[in-house]
Structure 1
Amino acid sequence: MLEGLTRLKVPKSSDVLADRLRREILSDAYPPGASLPTERELVSATGLSRGSVREALRMLEAQGLVSTRAGRYGGTTVSQPTDDHLANHISHYAKGRSVPLQSLVDVRLALEPMVAFLAAERRTEADLISLRAISARLDKSADSDPAVFLEENANWHDALAAASHNPLLGTLATSVGVLMFEASQLANFATAEVRQRVCRAHHRILEAIELGDAELARRRVERDVQAYALALEAAVTASNWARQAD
């Protein structure tokens, strides 16, 4: 009589409750800013233990769907995931899977030219002011401070992503940019030659965006990402050789 039966996988009660609340939040039954039922109310309504209810709420908080405040006047309210939530998930995935540098470059090549294309079409005067200001700081740091240069370079790409006015595409590009920034923290990478090359490339990209020439901006960013990746790959290779020699 037991033929054909297999081991059953029964979901945890906290997973079931988290899934139920998640579906209600995403269907706007609880809009952003709305309060969820209290822990006591959830325990009473579901028959679950307080521990299971708290675990479900912790899962939703980790996903950026709710925020919980402790204390007498605390509680759980519905929130919207931030850019940092997506960036953290992508970072954990890439680092946990040991995603190679070339894969990051491939993703950046897929994303950033389209970011520049949209930025040229959609940029506002505020976007241009931001890009020009960062470009000026980038030029200044290129002559003397590689660490500041790398930081301002990351800021420039973030500003470019914001100028696309596509929140999902921009956040994806920024998230990959964070990983590229971390990979660039090599003593032998940001040489004077690399810094000057990046500055020239950014001036050409900004020029295309100011002109509103989307196709030109796309092509120039594509060349910039490819050149940056080649320089970074060479630095990584040299660093690996140096470690092996030691």
Structure 2
Amino acid sequence: MTNPAQSSDFESKQDSMLEGLGKIKVPKSSDVLAERLKKEILSDAYPPGSMLPTERELVTTTGLSRGSVREALRILEAQGLVATRAGRYGGTTVSMPSDDQLAGQINIFARGRSIPLTALAEVRLALEPMVASLAAQRRTAEDLTALREISDRIDQTAIEIDDLEEFLMENVNWHDALAAASHNDLLCALATSVSGLMFEASKLREFASLELRQRVCLAHRKILEAIEGRDSERARRRAEIDIEAYARILDSAAKGSVTTA
């Protein structure tokens, strides 16, 4: 006959052991395949532009269902690592994540977290002076041409009161061209992502002021002059001044009392 005390002790030990095991999470087969394919792509086993094995080949090789294979490819497509085209001559082509995809993710993050305008200005202050400094060191003739042409278009829209939207868009284009002139792909991607947020944040009636737009044009010209002269320190400092002025405008707009920078 079982001793009740012994039975209770056994059950207690069994409960303790079960608690120690915890819940075991088994990854989905589609996630496992997506992770393996991602490693292959990032290791250059499948360079950009090359074709991945077909769905049928992946099903045969992995032993997974067609549904799991398709889900794995959808995961990779969402990450910007492949592009899938349906049809007889379709297939899955390897690609690389674009700046637009990063910008989209940062935009969603900023909107989802309700990132304040002050935080946006702080990020710009951390990034753009370095971008301007590198641009002064590394700019090419093509970079200068792009910056000059955009500056000319900004100057034109700055004097036309009805062209606020175009002015703001050209302002974003200028900052994107400045980032491209840094010739640092990661820094460029981050800076252009922030410039999209800047465009949305700048849709304030205060930017309709012709005087303020002309101040923006002047600030850009001074940064461009430093870049043309390959003066990296001056370019960095002029960018700092520009962003600090922009931050004051946003602060004044938020408080409802606008002051010129």
TM-score, normalized by length of structure 2? Answer: 0.88
- Sequence identity of aligned pairs in percent? 69
CA distance in structure 2 between the aligned counterparts of 1:68 and 1:237, rounded to whole angstroms: 49
SS in 2 for 1:7: coil
Please tell me whether Structure 1 or Structure 2 has the larger radius of gyration of its CA atoms: 2
CA distance in structure 2 between the aligned counterparts of 1:223 and 1:210, rounded to whole angstroms: 18
Structure 2 residue 222 is matched with structure 1 residue 194 = no
- Residues 14-59 of structure 1: CA distance to partner in whole angstroms, max 9, x if unpaired? 1111101001111111111221111111112222221111111011
Contact 2:207–2:213 (CA under 8 A) maintained in structure 1: no
SS in 2 for 1:77: strand
2:246 is matched with 228
Q: Decide which of 186, 206, 210 is 1:168's aligned counterpart.
A: 186
Deviation larger for 191-200 or 169-178: 191-200
Deviation of residue 149 (structure 1)? Answer: 1.2
SS in 2 for 1:188: helix
Q: Decide which of 218, 237, 245 is 1:219's aligned counterpart.
A: 237
Deviation of residue 238 (structure 1)? Answer: 2.5
Task: Please list every run of 5 or more consecutive structure 2 residues that lacks an aligned counterpart in the other structure.
Answer: 1-13
Q: Structure 1 residues 3 and 195, CA, compared in 2 at 3 Å: closer, same or farther?
A: closer
Deviation of residue 130 (structure 1)? Answer: 1.1
CA distance in structure 2 between the aligned counterparts of 1:235 and 1:146, rounded to whole angstroms: 17
Contact 2:117–2:250 (CA under 8 A) maintained in structure 1: no
1:22 is matched with 38
- Residues 130-183 of structure 1: CA distance to partner in whole angstroms, max 9, x if unpaired? 111111111111111222211111111111111111111011101001001111
Deviation of residue 233 (structure 1)? Answer: 2.8
What CA RMSD, in Å, does the superposition of the two structures yield over aligned residues?
A: 1.4
2:222 is matched with 204
Aligned-partner residue type, residue 193 of structure 2: S
Q: Decide which of 149, 160, 164 is 1:133's aligned counterpart.
A: 149
CA distance in structure 1 between the aligned counterparts of 2:215 and 2:33, rounded to whole angstroms: 54
2:26 is matched with 10
Deviation of residue 90 (structure 1)? Answer: 1.2
Structure 2 residue 173 is matched with structure 1 residue 155 = yes
1:34-73 aligned at under 5 Å gives the runs 34-73=50-89
Deviation larger for 19-28 or 190-199: 190-199
2:4 is matched with none
1:244 is matched with none
Task: Please list every run of 5 or more consecutive structure 1 residues that lacks an aligned counterpart in the other structure.
Answer: 240-246
CA distance in structure 2 between the aligned counterparts of 1:125 and 1:69, rounded to whole angstroms: 38
Aligned-partner residue type, residue 238 of structure 2: R
Structure 2 residue 128 is matched with structure 1 residue 112 = yes
Deviation of residue 236 (structure 1)? Answer: 3.5
SS in 2 for 1:67: strand
Deviation of residue 232 (structure 1)? Answer: 2.3
CA distance in structure 2 between the aligned counterparts of 1:43 and 1:149, rounded to whole angstroms: 52
Contact 1:189–1:232 (CA under 8 A) maintained in structure 2: no
Deviation of residue 214 (structure 1)? Answer: 0.1
SS in 1 for 2:20: coil
SS in 2 for 1:25: helix
Contact 1:194–1:231 (CA under 8 A) maintained in structure 2: no
User: How many residues in Structure 1 have an aligned counterpart in Structure 2?
Assistant: 239
2:197 is matched with 179
